[in-house]
Amino acid sequence: MGSSSSSMDHIPNAEELMQETGFSAAHLLRLYERFEFLDKDQTGELRPEDFGAIGGLALNPIGDRIISAFFSPGQETVDFPSFVRVLAHFRPNGTNRTRNGTQQEPVNSRTRKLKFAFQLYDQDRDGKISRAELLQVLRAMLGIQVTEEQLQSIAERAIQEADLDRDDAISFDEFKKVQQVSPHPQTPTKETPLHPTEGGR
Amino acid sequence: MPSRTCSHSPSGFGKSLPEQGLLLLVVLVLLEGSVLPLGAASSPDVSHQDDSHNHKVADHGVNATKKVFPVLDVDYHHIQTPFEISLWVLLASLMKLGFHLIPRLSSIVPESCLLIVVGLLVGGLIKLAGEQVPPVLDSRLFFLCLLPPIILDAGYFLPIRPFMENVGTILMFAVVGTVWNAFFVGGLLYAVCQIQPANPSSLHSIELLHCLLFGSIISAVDPVAVLAVFEEIHINELLHILVFGESLLNDAVTVVLYHLFVEYAGVGTVTVMDGFLGVISFLVVALGGVLVGAIYGILAAFTSRFTSHTRVIEPLFVFVYSYMAYLSAEMFHLSGIMALIACGAVMRPYVEANISHKSHTTIKYFLKMWSSVSETLIFIFLGVATVDGPHSWNWTFVTVTVILCLVARVIGVVGLTYIINKFRIVKLTTKDQFIVAYGGLRGAIAFSLGFLLDQNQFAHRKMFLTAIITVIFFTVFVQGMTIKPLVELLAVKKKQEAKRSINEEIHTQFLDHLLTGIEDICGHYGHHHWKDKLNRFNKKYVKKCLIAGERSKEPQLIAFYHKMEMKQAIELVESGGGVKLPSAVPSTVSMQNIQPKKPPPAKAAERALPQLPKGREEEIRKILRSNLQRTRQRLRSYNRHTLVADPYEDGFSDLLIKKQKMIELEKKIKEMNNYLTVPAAPPDSPTMCRARLASGKHIRISHSQMQTLNIYHHFTVR
């Protein structure tokens, strides 16, 4: 946490951002440094190509979805506040709430995280994951070694398990419910890499 | 683990117990003897002296009286050892049976306590009968025969994901916690023994190193006891894996500390150099054990790649390789437990992709059976060994030990959690800490280690043993019995009973990719980054080597999906009848339509056809059942060398073709959506039956059912 306040001045509206997203000053600074690193031509904004330059992301099956999640519909570029806002979804929601053993997380935070994940499935943003969208995700994740029928069966089954109102698509509530039933340790509530003491570049 | 060769206990069971059982036999034989005219020479021989006596009698004259041919003879000595072993195993299993017949008892008292009591009773009976109690908890027997099955069972079915996620915490507890416990208990015990300078007692002669050795023996949490108790209380996965993982991984620490102190207790001093060597030794023991296990695991996986023609012996490879891993690690004085865990965990994903479904079931049931029997035997033997002694009760020593163990555990857990919580994302609450501390049970390993001590070198061995037994009894009885009500009282989160659904699996994988992507964006090489790298490496190189044929390219999700479909198919076939479509075909699109969820059949029926009148249901049931019979008959005959064709494996391409046909048909029928009205067809045609039911109601389900019945008709007619 040895960052001087002078570098914080580079960041526009630092105070507001910290309030809004809950990041600490150190976190924010680190994110800013990363933002600048990614912004190769120093325009102050990121474009899809900048994201594409990240090696690991190219190999990631849902890499392009993640990238598009940063860009609001219609926008071509991402500025720093939007960048931080998206990443704020992955902040652990544990700093100032009381725990009593049972997992009673504040509904809004967990919901927000699930909503983010949901939006990654739901590319056309109609509020439901249709069978076609699910198939797309499966295809991306499972690659080419799987036959079309297998994909169909899996998608079919997944929808049947989750779809309670029988509209052949998974709405956000149904999505939440499925995740609620067995809280696997890897829910989005627990993930963030953004601890200043963790890891390095 | 320390050298298992024990200098002072014979590996046999002792010659006394059989004489008890023989009384029964003698009675039986006498009865028969009175019926059949056998003559004097064939009267039952209870001991070999009679044998030799008879021989002498016969020898007395070269052509002496011709002995009457012994139609019935008793030669116990011939079968003694296996008979005794079987008798013990039978006793253990009958006890286990018995407990579960008394429902109230098994809900209050954990099984381990009851078994120890049984052991006490048996030991007591033997002692009352005046015989010498057999030294059953022989260290060699324990470490080489009784412990491995339990550990293998635990290792093979270890839930890798939660384990790896919490591995840092587990290691902290296992290593730092155990070392802390050992030194705290040992050190304070020595201090306590030194006080009271007024009246010198035998305690004053204890040396510091002996106390530290005792501390290291008593401080390790025991996996057998933890398993036995925690299995019954069903707490949430996190706590379970924390305590259980700790009990497994502290083996390396125990080995090193034990060896260290035993070595230097003779010399009398431990220098800093020795301490340093101890640390290095720990790393060698732990990592070496894991390495040995991993090597054997990979060998097993590789072997299983070629077993497609000899399915019958597949489970054998799993067991033998694992056992050899354990023995090899023991040979080098590495941690056998860690080797076993590593072997099971490494081989499992590859072996399961290669072996047949039946072998998988066999492995599962054999492991469970062996580990269950082992566990039962261990607790009974603990009871018997307690009666045997040798004991040397010393109030001060024993009570101080018990108290110190508890205190050390609590302080250790609280202190470590404070540090650990700084690095954890999901913090451990006070309740969690309490359960972790309370779940630190000691067990038979501690006793066996104590038993191994040399009486000549350690004058207070008897006292140590008594104290160890007391601590074990205390933790198993008091903590074991009260942990269940405490869990209820504190409302600790219980294990989620819901089965994994395909949605979860998809989402888990999706999340993994998502989080890896986010980590990449942030430039952070975290948990997910490395996991992703490992997975890629695994997919690219390792799977190709170790998994046979086509399965090597199969993504994990597909494998999971197939497993689920198989399970569902088997469930359907087993439960028979009902408004379901059973089939030997593991997965059909239409089958899913009928039973969208896996709850009990009744519910599925309700959901599928909410307005199904009872008469119709019966008709349909009859039709389906008769079709089912045909399926069952097909599966019945087989011989040992050609197991029944696994539909999943052999006819797979056929399945795909069938499925394709079904999907096409379904599409066609969907087009005829609104045209199904009440047809004027005879009631016994299932197709028409269905259509009638579907009349007027646009239930997507029923169309597919109709279509499926149609198709099923086609297929069963063949």
Total number of domains in chain B: 2
A180 touches chain B (CB under 8 A): no
Does an H or E element contain B702, and which?
helix B700-717
Using CA atoms, how far apart are residues A185 and B377, in angstroms rounded to an integer?
36
Q: Which two tokens stand for residue B264?
A: 């230097």
Q: Any residues with CB less than 8 A from the CB of B488 and at least 6 apart, and which?
A: none
Burial of A169 (0-12, 13-18, 19+ CB in 10 A): buried
pLDDT at B253 over 80: yes
- Whether residues B484 and B522 share a domain: the answer is no
Lowest mean pLDDT among A85-99, B241-255, B318-332, B555-569: A85-99
Which residues in chain A touch residue B515, judged by CB atoms under 8 angstroms apart? 90, 186, 191
Q: Does residue B281 fall inside a structural domain?
A: yes
Mean pLDDT, range A23-34, rounded to an integer: 80
- Average pLDDT of chain B, as a whole number: 74
Q: What's the distance, CA B656 to chain centroid?
A: 37
Burial of B295 (0-12, 13-18, 19+ CB in 10 A): middle
Distances from the Cα of B549 to the Cα of B298, B535, B545, B553, angstroms:
17, 19, 10, 8
| Cβ(B704)–Cβ(B669) below 8 Å | yes
Domain boundary among B551, B571, B591: B571
Terminal Cα-to-Cα distance of chain A (whole angstroms): 16
Yes or no, beta carbons of A186 and B492 under 8 Å apart? no
Domain boundary among B571, B595, B627: B571
Residues of B (190-229) whose Cβ lies below 8 Å from A: none
Using CA atoms, how far apart are residues B247 and B177, in angstroms rounded to an integer?
11
pLDDT at B361 over 60: yes
Mean pLDDT, range B9-28, rounded to an integer: 43
Yes or no, beta carbons of A199 and B524 under 8 Å apart? yes
- Whether residues B485 and B522 share a domain: the answer is no
Tell which residue, B156, B173, B265, B263, has the closest CA to residue B220. B173
Yes or no, beta carbons of B589 and A153 under 8 Å apart? yes
* pLDDT band at B640; cut points 50, 70, 90: low
Task: Check residue B601 and give its pLDDT.
Answer: 42
CATH number for the domain including B232? 1.20.1530
Task: Check residue B570 and give its pLDDT.
Answer: 74
For the stretch A29-33, contacts whose Cβ atoms lie closer than 8 Å and that sit 24 or more positions apart, written own/partner, are A29/A3, A30/A194, A30/A196, A31/A83, A31/A84, A31/A87, A31/A194, A31/B522, A32/A7, A32/A80
- Write the DSSP assignment of A141-191 as a string of letters: HHGGGS-HHHHHHHHHHHHHHH-SS-SSEEEHHHHHHHHHHS--TTSGGG-
Which neighbouring-strand residues pair with B639?
Answer: B642
Name the residue in chain B with its Cα closest to that of A37.
Answer: B523
| Cβ(A63)–Cβ(A10) below 8 Å | no
Q: Which two tokens stand for residue B160?
A: 């890798």
Distance from CA of B167 to the nearest CA of A (A): 14
Q: Does residue B122 fall inside a structural domain?
A: no
Which residues in chain B touch residue A57, judged by CB atoms under 8 angstroms apart? 517, 520-521
- What is the number of other CB atoms lying within 10 angstroms of the CB of residue B330? 22
Give the pLDDT confidence of B173-199 residue by residue, as tens digits.
Answer: 999 999 999 999 988 988 888 876 555
Q: Tokens 């997203």 appear where?
A: A21
pLDDT at B569 over 90: no
B507 touches chain A (CB under 8 A): yes
Helix B502-522, helix A148-162: angle, nearest 10: 100
* pLDDT band at B292; cut points 50, 70, 90: very high
Which residues in chain B touch residue A101, judged by CB atoms under 8 angstroms apart? 429-432, 490-493
Q: Which two tokens stand for residue B105?
A: 């008892």
Using CA atoms, how far apart are residues B540 and A28, in angstroms rounded to an integer?
38
ipTM, 2 dp: 0.79
Q: Does residue B270 fall inside a structural domain?
A: yes
> Residue B548 belongs to what domain range?
503-571
* Torsion on CA atoms A31, A37, A39, A43, rounded to nearest 10: 90
Q: What are phi and psi of B201, to 5 degrees?
A: -115, 180
Q: Which two tokens stand for residue A150?
A: 């297998």
Mean pLDDT, range B509-537, rounded to an integer: 78
A95 touches chain B (CB under 8 A): no
Yes or no, beta carbons of A99 and B162 under 8 Å apart? no
Task: Check residue A59 and give its pLDDT.
Answer: 76
Most confident of A81-85, B585-589, B663-667: A81-85
Name the residue in chain B with its Cα closest to that of A154.
Answer: B561
Task: Check residue B39 and give its pLDDT.
Answer: 26
Tell which residue, B156, B442, B160, B207, has the closest CA to residue B318. B156
Q: What's the distance, CA B202 to chain centroid?
A: 43
Q: What are phi and psi of B264, to 5 degrees?
A: -90, -10
Q: Does residue B224 fall inside a structural domain?
A: yes
The CA-CA-CA angle for residues A75, A77, A81, to 5°, reads 100
Q: Count how many Cα atoms sit within 13 Å of the Cα of residue A40 in the half-sphere of its side chain.
A: 8
Q: Any residues with CB less than 8 A from the CB of B480 and at least 6 apart, and which?
A: B110, B112, B113, B225, B228, B229, B441
Using CA atoms, how far apart are residues B679 and B686, in angstroms rounded to an integer?
12
Lowest mean pLDDT among A67-76, B282-291, B462-471, B679-688: B679-688
Give the pLDDT confidence of B74-117 residue by residue, as tens digits.
Answer: 888 888 888 888 988 898 888 888 888 887 777 778 888 888 88
Q: What's the distance, CA B468 to chain centroid?
A: 25
Which residues in chain A touch residue B489, judged by CB atoms under 8 angstroms apart? none
Q: Does residue B412 fall inside a structural domain?
A: yes
Domain boundary among B432, B465, B490: B490
Yes or no, beta carbons of B491 and A162 under 8 Å apart? no
Yes or no, beta carbons of B656 and A147 under 8 Å apart? yes
- Whether residues B520 and B478 share a domain: the answer is no
* pLDDT band at B605; cut points 50, 70, 90: very low
Mean pLDDT, range B369-378, rounded to an integer: 90
Distance from CA of B666 to the nearest CA of A (A): 13
Which residues in chain A touch residue B513, judged by CB atoms under 8 angstroms apart? 60-62, 141
- Whether residues B463 and B512 share a domain: the answer is no
- Whether residues B330 and B377 share a domain: the answer is yes
Distances from the Cα of A69 to the Cα of A49, A173, B488, angstroms:
14, 20, 44
- Whether residues B161 and B258 share a domain: the answer is yes
pLDDT at B13 over 60: no
- Three-state SS for B85? helix
Using CA atoms, how far apart are residues B176 and B167, in angstroms rounded to an integer?
13
Q: Any residues with CB less than 8 A from the CB of B299 and at least 6 apart, and which?
A: B321
Mean pLDDT, range B613-638, rounded to an integer: 58
Q: Which two tokens stand for residue B169?
A: 């915490």
A66, A92, A121 ranked by CB distance to B517: nearest:
A66
Yes or no, beta carbons of B558 and A94 under 8 Å apart? no
A73 touches chain B (CB under 8 A): no
Q: Which two tokens stand for residue B508?
A: 């888990």
pLDDT at B231 over 70: yes
Does an H or E element contain A128, and which?
strand A128-130
pLDDT at B134 over 80: no
Using CA atoms, how far apart are residues B479 and B382, in angstroms rounded to an integer?
17
Which amino acid would we find at residue B147?
L
Task: Check residue B406 and give its pLDDT.
Answer: 92
Q: Does residue B390 fall inside a structural domain?
A: yes
Q: Which two tokens stand for residue B629?
A: 């019979």
A61 touches chain B (CB under 8 A): yes
Tell which residue, B535, B473, B362, has the closest CA to residue B120. B473
Distance from CA of A137 to the nearest CA of B (A): 8
Q: Does residue B671 fall inside a structural domain?
A: no
Q: Which two tokens stand for residue A85?
A: 């806002």
Task: Check residue A32 and give its pLDDT.
Answer: 81
Using CA atoms, how far apart are residues B673 and B214, in angstroms rounded to an integer?
79
Yes or no, beta carbons of B518 and A66 under 8 Å apart? yes
Residues of B (541-560) whose Cβ lies below 8 Å from A: 553-555, 557-558
- Write the DSSP assignment of B334-390 as a string of letters: --HHHHHHHHHHHHHHHHHHHS-HHHHHHHHHHHHHHHHHHHHHHHHHHHHHHHH--
A196 touches chain B (CB under 8 A): no
- Whether residues B537 and B481 share a domain: the answer is no
Task: Check residue A60 and give its pLDDT.
Answer: 79
* pLDDT band at B414; cut points 50, 70, 90: very high
Yes or no, beta carbons of A56 and B426 under 8 Å apart? no
Q: What's the distance, CA B367 to chain centroid?
A: 6
Q: What are phi and psi of B510, to 5 degrees?
A: -60, -45
| Cβ(B292)–Cβ(B325) below 8 Å | yes
Encode A71-116 in three state secondary structure.
CCCCCCCEEHHHHHHHHHCCCCCCCCCCCECECCCCHHHHHHHHHH
As a whole-number percent, the residues of chain B with pLDDT over 90 amount to: 15
pLDDT at B423 over 90: no
- Three-state SS for A46? strand
Using CA atoms, how far apart are residues B474 and B505, in angstroms rounded to an integer?
43
A76 touches chain B (CB under 8 A): no
Which neighbouring-strand residues pair with A45?
Answer: A79
- Three-state SS for B5? coil
Mean pLDDT, range A183-199, rounded to an integer: 34
Name the residue in chain A with its Cα closest to that of B434.
Answer: A101
- Whether residues B450 and B516 share a domain: the answer is no
Using CA atoms, how far apart are residues B156 and B634, in angstroms rounded to an integer?
34
- Whether residues B424 and B375 share a domain: the answer is yes
| Cβ(A134)–Cβ(A142) below 8 Å | no
Which residues in chain A touch residue B491, judged by CB atoms under 8 angstroms apart? 101-102
**pTM of structure:** 0.69
- Whether residues B425 and B278 share a domain: the answer is yes
Yes or no, beta carbons of A117 and B514 under 8 Å apart? yes
B52 touches chain A (CB under 8 A): no
| Cβ(B406)–Cβ(B190) below 8 Å | no
pLDDT at A180 over 70: no
- Whether residues B339 and B190 share a domain: the answer is yes
Task: Check residue B291 and give its pLDDT.
Answer: 94
- Whether residues B484 and B508 share a domain: the answer is no
Distance from CA of A6 to the nearest CA of B (A): 23
Bond prior to B679 in cis (omega within 30° of 0)? no
Q: Does residue B157 fall inside a structural domain?
A: yes
pLDDT at B362 over 60: yes
- What is the number of other CB atoms lying within 10 angstroms of the CB of residue B606? 12
B489 touches chain A (CB under 8 A): no
Distance from CA of A147 to the nearest CA of B (A): 10
| Cβ(A201)–Cβ(A33) below 8 Å | no
